[in-house]
Amino acid sequence: MPIARVLVIEDNPMNMELSIDLLRVQGHEVLAARTADEALSLLQQVIPDLILMDIQLPGLSGLDLTRGLREDGRTKAVPIIAITAYAMMGDAEKAFEAGCDGYIPKPINFQQFAQVVEDVLRRRGE
């Protein structure tokens, strides 16, 4: 499993802690942002290998942020995995349409999570 620098965008502190631990346990380096704005300023300074984004963010929605990132030359190629508790039909499609590379429903299945992260990172390497 390749080590990566992952930016996690999540507004709920407990969920943020969970995601960070999850990633650290798998050996990744983690950057954290609690809102879309924070994420955007972080992205001015560093481009991560992967972005993990909760779709339900206050203010700018996760999907809108994704769309924005896809249009910016610097962040166009950074893989984005969407995390959400909404698991109705069509939610995954919407995420992919907005430009996400992966989709993880809550409650997070650790194995699925690890698998998706690995797949996405590997694809990026190709």
Give residues in contact with another protein (CB under 8 A).
Answer: 14-15, 18, 21-22, 24-25, 85-89, 105-108, 110
Rg of the Cα atoms in the chain = 13
Which CB, 46 or 89, lies closer to another protein?
89
Q: For the beta carbon of residue 44, count every other beta carbon within 10 angstroms.
A: 8
Closest CA to 11 of 38, 30, 29, 40: 38
21 three-state secondary structure: helix
Which CB, 18 or 31, lies closer to another protein?
18
CB of 44 to another protein, least distance (A): 30
Which CB, 22 or 52, lies closer to another protein?
22
